[in-house]
Chain A
Amino acid sequence: MTLVSDIEGLHSANGPVADEGYIGARVSRPNARRHLEGRGTYVDDIVLARLAHVVYLRSPMAHARIGTVDADVARSMPGVIAIVDGKQVAEICSPWVGTLTHLVGMKSAPQYPLAMERVCWQGEPVLAIVAESRQQAEDALQTIVIDWQPLPVVAHMETALDANTPIIHPELGDNLCFSKTIDTGGVDEVFTNADCVVEETYRFGRHTGVTMETRSVLADFDPAERKLTVYQSHQAPHMMQDLYARHFSLPESAVRVICKDVGGSFGIKVHSYPDDFATVALSMLLKRPVKFVADRLDSFVSDVHAREHLIRARMAATVDGEILAFEIDDLTGVGPYSVYPRTSAIEGNQVLNITGGPYQHKQYRGHLKVVLQNKAPTSQYRGVGHPIACAVTEGLVELAAQKLGIDSLQMRKLNVMRDDAYPCTGASGIKLEKLSHQQCLSQLEELMDYQALRHEQEELRKKGIYRGIGLAVLVELTNPGAAFYGVGGARIAAQDGATVRLEPSGVVTCLVGVGEQGQGTETIFAQIAADAVGVPMDRVKVVTGDTDVTPYGGGTWASRGAGIGGEAVLQAGRALRRNMLEMAAVLLERDPASLDIRGGQVVDAKSGEFHLEVAELGRIANFRPDTLAAGSLPELVVTRTYAQREYPFVFTNGVQASYVEVDIETGFVKLLKHWAVEDCGRIINPLLVDEQMRGAIVQGIGGALFEECLYDDSALLRNGSMADYLVPMASEMPDIEIGHVQTPTKTSSLGAKGAGEAGTAGAPAAVMNAINDALLPFKARVTEQPITPEKILRAVGTI
């Protein structure tokens, strides 16, 4: 059920975006059919002539000098084509530094595709072994002997800045990558005078994306024309096109990046990796296509990691529960290099910006320190800081509610920003167009039957069954402008383009710069294009993921696909419709305003009487322009671009609730149920939004209960395999009920915001709060994620 609120501007004279059309409908994805037969095409499925395979010899140590390299045996092994080192690659590929200018003071050292002289994390690629088959490459790799000379390791973020901790890059002066403070100025006074102050320290375990399809790159360099084609499992083909062109000194026009089917990305595949550049370099050096498919064991030590934070936090409130101020001190440990080009500091920066987000309060202070370590590099991963900011905020809010004897839901209702308070600016400086916290909360209350659950909880407590209810209110940034990257100097598009064209047969082809990794972007573009032009959806063909074909675009990240890509499609579609109506008007000798296009036909706008098939327009324009009146030909190929320029980001909001049962004897947590009410603006396809929410929530649950990259004191990863690293599987996950509120954004005609990450933002907070609610009778709290039976039993005092 959708509660449509405030959708003005959508039924404009420029062409209706009617609710009876595809927009807003639960449409199954046409492009899912191939996957149901296993017939998708992922990078590893692509076979080219003379294809060579590369495996990378990766550092087994966290920090070491690279001594002698003995690869003689390897070179002579069957099928081996070449063994290539960092120096050879550096001759044709320039290094990079992962900083952005608007993150003032940020420091990182230059990084090369393959390490030379020194390795700085376990998993850093050092040597490329290229062979006719993957098996042969691995056989050869095994025979290579490298004299590693261990160097002292920075294995703990808490001591990364200590005087006697080695500095990873001496030229940087210290291990501080970035620091920042936000201070509204009156924080100390508020805390001193407040009736209620709650304080807690939260720890979040580093974890990683574990995409089903590992990172994959197939680089194909044509030495005759000096043209590079790269097939990559990636979210942002144009960004990679730009990077390859610049770092290999190729003209942008000589580089083509193609993203076919992508087996899951979640931000892990929005970055550039040293092995990407190395693979391209190999193709150029060897003059043949080279394919790199990360082994799962490789992935654990080389994929981007995220979310390693230690946060001391406090909140001040009045005796009546009114929140006055938040303060956090966030320490986050990244890798030895900041990831390029989106940096390893954005996540911490977001934590700083988002903490306290949903709540009314005037005073805020946040300190952030991002420190370098000899562990896998970290960067954006679904939610980017939001899951952490939300967990800290919600933990404190819950703690205060307990201390003051105020019901959890009541505490939220009391303190969330009012639905009529917008536009406004949060204490941390975030600019908010219009949110719906209150409406979401009341819908959640009904959806989960909150009162009944509280009652059930109380009854069961008497029987020694300990259930908990945990709430989380969240804001989530989407539809970014250039605030993220462009302003900092990164060549990452903040706009997107869509080309819509009418084919001779009446099919509408839609080319868009934003692509798809399973979330359904191509489907919603088809829905929008169909509605905008007036044709049935099965007559719309969507093409994405090829820099030679689509308009320039930013790709998928920060949940921008629907809001930004979709708007470009809408505007292009409407423009095409106008042009088609003008052409039809001339043919029919009518006023264009008296005509309409519906279901692929030109009809009388008032009576619906049929006049022409849309295919007729295509036929005449292409094959019989001689029958058209003098003057310019109809423009049946239209491109529109869209950039969101009113706000740095357009925020969405939502609420989640988790209902758990803690087995107090074993510390095991059973997730009984999960609810979410989300407001992502105008919903294009509720089926897809629901499923994005569910997938995102489960991903958040992973970090809350199961997932952690466990490093030892030598900064070596102890659990880097699918057997040891625990991802959520079906048996332990709850059913998740989703409700919707729609507050369209006025920054676009479509009114859509993003929906991809909100689930992950709120789930850890809700689950942690639920567990702590269950443990209330034991006066125990757990504040370190992932929350394991060990941690619960220790908190309770059983062990």
Chain B
Amino acid sequence: MKAPQFDYVKPESLVEVFSLLEKNGDSARIIAGGQTLLATLNMRLSEPKLLIDINGVRGLSGISLQERFVRIGAMTRHSEIEESNLVAKHMPLLSMTAPHVAHKAIRNKGTIGGSIAFADPAAEWPCCAVALDAVIVLASKRGLRRVNAADFFRELYTTDMKTDELIVALEFPLQSPATHCAFDEMARRHGDYPIVGLAAVAQVSVNSLSQLRLVFLGVGNIPMRARAAEAILEGKPFSPELLAAAKLELAGELTPGADLYNSSELKLHLAAVLMKRLLMKMTS
């Protein structure tokens, strides 16, 4: 369908963005990559009065290596992350994940900031942000605010971002050389929103994993960190029995909702299979 009418403004500075947000409140929407927003508008599922295009605000994109983290500007396109040598070297989980995000044409426009802000429960970047202990940097006229990814995603499509704030960057803490990571997801068709997905980060030594972080997508309203399963596995020699025990914990801490095609039982089961496969991959 054709989108409903709206006004459009393309500010050149954050100050202007904040002023616009303040003046218009709920009736305004930020457009970054637009790959989710415009699809929604084309289906007339929402009717904002004003679109604030932040593609003209400088300083919001770019990937850089800082002293203790990799900084990725909110307006960085998925495809830039996919093609970045810096990311491949210093934050490989993101490189592994990028090809799973929709399709190339979408990745050329969509932004990581947009994905984080929208917080779709089946989206890849929020899950990776939690797994990598990323910090989300928010700006408002009050200044900058940093929120850990673990605290950022609150409820379905709801984050800690305030109505007068804008995500400006993500900071991914640099990892030790012994850190391994893996990402995989299960989807009926490549590029679809997956049924379930898993980002796993750990230190691997001989046969055990430590500082393990297992973060699932698609099994809850927000990225779900499987702490109980992690606790079972943490530091112990990896074995089928250990894995079985971890799987039991999963059943307790993940409560996936059913969707049109997939029951909660299926999602829970697939989550467990993903966990097994990724962990085996990491320890082999």
A interface residues (Cβ-Cβ under 8 A, vs B): 134-135, 138-139, 142, 295, 297, 665-668, 706, 710, 718-719, 721, 723-724, 726, 729, 731-732, 788-790, 793, 798-799
Given known A-B contacts A138-B1, A138-B2, A142-B4, A799 and B273 have beta carbons under 8 A apart: no
Tell me the complex Cα distance, A443–B186, Å. 37
The answer to whether A790 and B44 touch across the interface, beta carbons within 8 angstroms, is: no
Stretch at the interface among B13-21, B55-63, B85-93, B264-272: B264-272
Q: For A295, what are the chain B residues with a Cβ–Cβ distance below 8 Å?
A: 1
Which of A710, A724, A799 meets B263, CB within 8 Å? A799
Known: A295-B1, A666-B186, A729-B189. 14 other contacts (CB 8 A): A135-B2, A139-B4, A297-B43, A668-B186, A706-B188, A719-B260, A731-B191, A732-B188, A732-B190, A789-B188, A789-B266, A790-B262, A799-B265, A799-B269
Interface residues of B in 188-207 (CB under 8 A from A): 188-193
Q: For B190, what are the chain A residues with a Cβ–Cβ distance below 8 Å?
A: 729, 731-732
The answer to whether B1 and A710 touch across the interface, beta carbons within 8 angstroms, is: no
Given known A-B contacts A710-B260, A731-B190, A793 and B5 have beta carbons under 8 A apart: no
Given known A-B contacts A665-B273, A799-B265, A799-B269, A731 and B1 have beta carbons under 8 A apart: no
The answer to whether B260 and A718 touch across the interface, beta carbons within 8 angstroms, is: yes
The answer to whether B269 and A793 touch across the interface, beta carbons within 8 angstroms, is: yes
Which of A719, A723, A793 meets B266, CB within 8 Å? A793
Interface residues of B in 247-267 (CB under 8 A from A): 260-263, 265-266
* Interface pairs A-B: 10 shortest CB-CB: A731-B190, A799-B265, A135-B2, A665-B273, A729-B189, A790-B266, A295-B1, A138-B2, A799-B269, A719-B260
A126: shortest Cβ distance to chain B, in Å?
Answer: 17
Which single residue of chain B is at the shortest CB-CB distance from A136? B2
Q: For B266, what are the chain A residues with a Cβ–Cβ distance below 8 Å?
A: 667, 789-790, 793, 799
The answer to whether A138 and B261 touch across the interface, beta carbons within 8 angstroms, is: no
The answer to whether A139 and B5 touch across the interface, beta carbons within 8 angstroms, is: yes
B interface residues (Cβ-Cβ under 8 A, vs A): 1-2, 4-5, 39, 43-44, 186, 188-193, 260-263, 265-266, 269-270, 273
A97: shortest Cβ distance to chain B, in Å?
Answer: 33
Tell me the complex Cα distance, A665–B270, Å. 8
A778: shortest Cβ distance to chain B, in Å?
Answer: 16
Q: For A719, what are the chain B residues with a Cβ–Cβ distance below 8 Å?
A: 260
Q: For A799, what are the chain B residues with a Cβ–Cβ distance below 8 Å?
A: 263, 265-266, 269
Which single residue of chain A is at the shortest CB-CB distance from B266? A790
Tell me the complex Cα distance, A771–B193, Å. 25
Which single residue of chain A is at the shortest CB-CB distance from B274? A666
Q: For A138, what are the chain B residues with a Cβ–Cβ distance below 8 Å?
A: 1-2, 4, 44
Which of B43, B186, B270 meets A721, CB within 8 Å? B43
Given known A-B contacts A732-B189, A799-B265, A799-B269, A724 and B260 have beta carbons under 8 A apart: yes
Which single residue of chain B is at the shortest CB-CB distance from A729? B189
Q: For A731, what are the chain B residues with a Cβ–Cβ distance below 8 Å?
A: 189-191
The answer to whether B44 and A142 touch across the interface, beta carbons within 8 angstroms, is: yes
Tell me the complex Cα distance, A481–B144, Å. 77
Which single residue of chain B is at the shortest CB-CB distance from A790? B266
Q: For B270, what are the chain A residues with a Cβ–Cβ distance below 8 Å?
A: 666, 789
B86: shortest Cβ distance to chain A, in Å?
Answer: 29
Which single residue of chain B is at the shortest CB-CB distance from A732? B189
Which of A134, A718, A798 meets B2, CB within 8 Å? A134
Which of B2, B188, B262, B273 meets A726, CB within 8 Å? B188
Q: For A667, what are the chain B residues with a Cβ–Cβ distance below 8 Å?
A: 266
Which single residue of chain B is at the shortest CB-CB distance from A798? B269
Tell me the complex Cα distance, A297–B266, Å. 29
B264: shortest Cβ distance to chain A, in Å?
Answer: 10
| 11 examples of A-B residue contacts, CB within 8 angstroms | A138-B44, A139-B4, A139-B5, A142-B4, A666-B273, A668-B188, A706-B188, A726-B188, A731-B191, A789-B188, A789-B266
B273: shortest Cβ distance to chain A, in Å?
Answer: 5
Tell me the complex Cα distance, A134–B270, Å. 44
A569: shortest Cβ distance to chain B, in Å?
Answer: 41
The answer to whether B189 and A726 touch across the interface, beta carbons within 8 angstroms, is: yes
Which single residue of chain A is at the shortest CB-CB distance from B190? A731
Q: For A668, what are the chain B residues with a Cβ–Cβ distance below 8 Å?
A: 186, 188
B185: shortest Cβ distance to chain A, in Å?
Answer: 12
